[in-house]
């Protein structure tokens, strides 16, 4: 009696190896996509923070006088520049809003002096994953005596 030798691959072996290969390839593609998406999201947020820091520095350099007499409802500064939803030059897809809040608009302490201290908030808005994301930074401006 002679036994038959089995050599080569059967259809089942090939099918299993193709399924395993497909699973690993799909996992690698999915991880690569997630890493790329996360990297782009971090990059856009970093650019928004950079823009916000530059705007805060600009507000500090402009000084209190440029924002004197402005309140939360103000849409332009004393020079007529827009404060609300303004596009950033050289940075497509980013908008800035500057909110000037007088110290008297904050609740508490009834002995506040009007137009002595302002809180300037810079809000940078951008799109990420189809949703609007924002970055906000604030600084305090005071009137020099």
Collapse the DSSP code of 98 into the 3-class scheme (helix H, G, I; strand E, B; otherwise coil) and give the result. strand
* Closest to 60 (Cα-Cα) out of 118, 113, 104: 118
* Closest to 123 (Cα-Cα) out of 140, 89, 90, 100: 100
Rounded to whole angstroms, the Cα distance separating 75 from 81 reads: 8
pLDDT given for residue 6 in this prediction: 64
Summarised one tens digit per residue, pLDDT across range 85-112 is 888 888 888 999 999 888 888 777 677 7
* Closest to 127 (Cα-Cα) out of 84, 86, 92: 92
Collapse the DSSP code of 133 into the 3-class scheme (helix H, G, I; strand E, B; otherwise coil) and give the result. strand
Rounded to whole angstroms, the Cα distance separating 60 from 70 reads: 15
Give the range with max mean pLDDT: 74-78, 82-86, 92-96.
Answer: 92-96
Q: What angle do CA 74, 76, 79 make, to 5 degrees?
A: 135
Summarised one tens digit per residue, pLDDT across range 7-50 is 666 888 889 999 999 999 999 999 999 999 999 999 999 999 99
């Amino acid at each position: 009696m002679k036994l038959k030798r089995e050599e080569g691959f059967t259809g089942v072996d090939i099918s299993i190896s193709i399924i395993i290969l497909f699973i690993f390839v799909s996992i690698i593609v999915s991880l690569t996509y997630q890493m790329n998406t996360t990297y782009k999201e971090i990059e856009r947020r970093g650019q928004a923070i950079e823009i916000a820091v530059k705007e805060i520095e600009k507000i500090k350099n402009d000084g209190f006088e440029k924002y004197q007499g402005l309140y939360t409802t103000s849409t332009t500064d004393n020079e007529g520049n827009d404060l609300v939803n303004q596009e950033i030059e050289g940075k497509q897809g980013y908008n800035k809003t500057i909110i000037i809040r007088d110290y008297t608009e904050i609740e508490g302490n009834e002995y506040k002096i009007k137009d002595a201290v302002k809180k300037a908030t810079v809000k940078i808005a951008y799109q990420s994953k189809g949703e609007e994301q924002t970055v906000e930074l604030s600084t305090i401006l005071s009137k020099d005596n």
